[in-house]
Amino acid sequence: MAMANKAKGQDVLKLGIVDVEYKRMPCEYKNQNLAIRVEESSQKPYYLAIKLLYQGGQTEIVAIDVAQVGSSNWIFMTRNYGAVWDTSRVPNGALQFRFVVTSGYDGKWVWAKNVLPADWKIGVIYDSGVQITDIAQEGCSPCDDGNW
């Protein structure tokens, strides 16, 4: 039993169904910004799929919007699976992104400007220029100032 202490596997099996609590552990990527990899399924200019890499902190990205650099016409992306997000409404030109990042109960917008060049390529990893390092709180914001 991988989740049991040494020589305690049979004791765990005897319990049958047990409640398991999961806790997101903070990730730290020293000197590494959040990166965006253009997935192989992307088909410029009709479809863009990206994977987020080096997402630091104890966070979750729950929404992503994309727009042409300099534009305020944001287009939402859909989480396809895991860290892969996509859209079939790909803006022209160089692209900027904004993310809703949550750490525990609170969410905030993080902007990454001028991330993908106009001639973005499939399989290439692009630096977002932003680092995410937030750590979640155990309780609600007014009630708790401790980290998990």
Instruction: Check: CB of residue 52 under 8 Å from CB of residue 74.
Output: no
35-127: CATH topology: Immunoglobulin-like (2.60.40)
Task: Give pLDDT, residue 25.
Answer: 76
Task: Give pLDDT, residue 87.
Answer: 98
pTM for this entry? 0.77
Q: Can you tell me the distance from the alpha carbon of 129 to that of 69, in angstroms, rounded to the nearest whole number?
A: 14
Task: Give pLDDT, residue 144.
Answer: 56
Instruction: Check: CB of residue 97 under 8 Å from CB of residue 36.
Output: yes
For residue range 44-60, list pLDDT tens digits in order.
Answer: 999 999 999 999 888 89
Pick out the chain residues at pLDDT < 70. 1-4, 137-148
What one-character-per-residue DSSP string does 10-72 give?
HHHHHH-S------PPPB--TT---EEEE-TT-BTTTBEEEEEE---BS-EEEEEEEEETT--
